[in-house]
């Protein structure tokens, strides 16, 4: 109550608060409430109930969903008022990220990805005396109202150029950044990426705040561009033949040092193929497991962007097997769980720091770096890796996996029967 009242006193223009959560499909779900009702919730006078299907709507079949049980369930949105922020793109609105409580469950928060991450961060600090900073890089492609690249004189055409940012596009980017600043989100930098693509890098924050910022930043980018009749899409495969979009997660730790950081990284690499089911969480995301983007082989390398983990230094890594179809709370919670497993078991880092492009190596040369396991080539393969990964599954709530895996299998089943063009249209609608 105190958090909300203090916020409203500083932001008198706020009329509505968006109660937000990310479902298992990576979709931002929102309920818009007037301030008066939010005050009732904060005082404990009311619980905000949700339909039990609010986490399990596949992108491929929406709005149809497929509950795994037959019992009626009671779900409650629990706003984390510490996450309350102004919506810079809409001065009368604020947003708050929520935990999801399943009343009938033995552990009522076992299906909540945000709670999974919150508990993992407590473990990181309590057991390993370590805090983390997290930052994200967001790739997005700019399309016209027909879903095609913008036909403009000043076109985004290459990596890190001024071309494409000399006219209206730069004006809109600056509008985005102004809105982000109003939401207490700072930009680390932005630049052109490739044809019709821009990357926004966010300044590092504590992990939960960083993901909250990612969610609001994505919504800000989409909203500001659409006001100018431009679609800023973050879907992994925005065109049938062209650049791909990813989201890169940077993580640094303060007190964890070698050899503990090696054990932590080894735990993550050991389960990377399974983690892909959370990070590249839908059908067309695996267009990125090639020679670059998320990489074709499980491994790491200092400043190597052609592998799923780029090492920046002994206490800083970039995880590249992530895109906009993921629930970022779930993905990072699973990454930490894998890393904790490596720490607990003192897993040896059998992979060697790879300083060359993996695509340039033959099989014998790859073996020197232990680049022997290929990254999954499909969501189906990633799910099979996850289902066979008893160790990682033991570290995650079984109730969550019982909902998540069948939903993703439904995505595979339905999307397999669609054409590439049909899938593209569906993903553009959501991401």
Helix spans in 28-184 (H): 35-42, 113-128, 168-182
Per the structure block, which two tokens stand in for 233?
A: 């899409």
The helix or strand, by DSSP H or E, that contains position 5, with its residue range, turns out to be helix 2-10
In a domain, 113, yes or no: no
In a domain, 116, yes or no: no
d(CA 209, CA 219): 15
With a CB cutoff of 8 Å and minimum separation 6, the contacts of 390 are none
Residues with pLDDT less than 70, the chain = 291
Per the structure block, which two tokens stand in for 306?
A: 């052609």
d(CA 17, CA 49): 16
Quote the pLDDT of residue 130. 93
Closest alpha carbon to 356 in 343, 348, 366, 346: 366
Domain CATH number, residue 343: 3.30.590.10
Structural domain range at position 318: 121-430
Q: What pTM was computed for the model?
A: 0.95
* Domain end position, chosen among 108, 137, 168: 108
d(CA 134, CA 332): 10
Quote the pLDDT of residue 111. 95
Domain CATH number, residue 45: 3.10.20.70
Quote the pLDDT of residue 291. 67
d(CA 143, CA 149): 5
- CB of 275 within 8 A of CB of 229? no
156 and 73 share one domain: no
How many domains is the chain built from? 2
56 and 132 share one domain: no
CA-based torsion, 312, 317, 322, 324: positive or negative:
negative
Radius of gyration of the chain (CA): 21
Q: What one-character DSSP code corresponds to residue 376?
A: P
69 and 201 share one domain: no
372 and 238 share one domain: yes
Q: Judging by DSSP bridges, how do beta strands 93-102 and 16-22 pair with one another? A: parallel
């Amino acid at each position: 109550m105190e958090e909300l009242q203090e916020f409203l006193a500083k932001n008198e223009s706020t009329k509505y608060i968006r109660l937000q959560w990310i479902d298992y499909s990576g979709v931002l779900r929102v309920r818009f409430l007037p301030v008066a009702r939010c005050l009732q919730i904060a005082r404990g006078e009311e619980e905000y109930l949700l339909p039990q299907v609010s986490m399990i709507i596949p992108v491929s079949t929406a709005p149809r969903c497929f509950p795994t049980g037959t019992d009626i369930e009671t779900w409650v949105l629990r706003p984390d008022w510490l996450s309350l922020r102004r919506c810079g793109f809409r001065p009368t609105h604020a947003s708050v990220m929520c935990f999801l409580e399943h009343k009938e469950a033995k552990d009522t928060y076992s299906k909540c990805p945000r709670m999974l991450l919150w508990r993992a961060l407590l473990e990181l600090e309590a057991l390993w005396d370590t805090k983390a900073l997290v930052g994200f890089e967001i790739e997005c492609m700019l399309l016209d109202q027909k879903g095609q690249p913008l036909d403009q004189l000043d076109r985004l055409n290459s990596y890190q150029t001024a071309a494409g940012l000399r006219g209206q596009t730069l004006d809109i980017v600056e509008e985005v950044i102004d809105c982000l600043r109003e939401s207490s989100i700072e930009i680390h930098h932005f630049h052109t990426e490739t044809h019709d693509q821009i990357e926004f890098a966010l300044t590092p924050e504590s992990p939960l705040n960083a993901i909250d910022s990612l969610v609001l930043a994505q919504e800000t980018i989409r909203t500001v561009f659409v006001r100018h009749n431009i679609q800023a899409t973050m879907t992994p495969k925005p065109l049938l033949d062209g650049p791909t979009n990813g989201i890169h997660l940077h993580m640094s730790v303060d007190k964890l040092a070698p050899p503990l950081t090696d054990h932590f990284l080894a735990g993550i690499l050991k389960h990377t193929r399974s983690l892909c089911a959370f990070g590249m969480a839908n059908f067309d995301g695996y267009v990125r497991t090639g020679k670059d983007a998320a990489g074709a082989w499980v491994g790491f390398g200092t400043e190597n962007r052609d592998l799923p983990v780029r090492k920046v230094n002994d206490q800083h890594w970039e995880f590249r097997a992530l895109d906009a179809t993921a629930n970022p709370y779930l993905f990072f919670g699973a990454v930490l769980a894998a890393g904790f497993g490596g720490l607990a078991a003192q897993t040896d880092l059998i992979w060697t720091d790879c300083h060359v492009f993996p695509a340039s190596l033959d099989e014998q040369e790859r073996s020197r770096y232990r680049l022997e396991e290929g990254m999954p080539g499909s969501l189906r393969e990633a799910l099979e890796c996850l289902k066979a990964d008893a160790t990682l599954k033991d570290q995650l709530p079984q109730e969550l996996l019982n909902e998540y895996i069948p939903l993703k299998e439904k995505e595979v089943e339905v999307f397999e029967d669609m054409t590439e063009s049909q899938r593209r249209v569906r993903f553009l609608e959501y991401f």
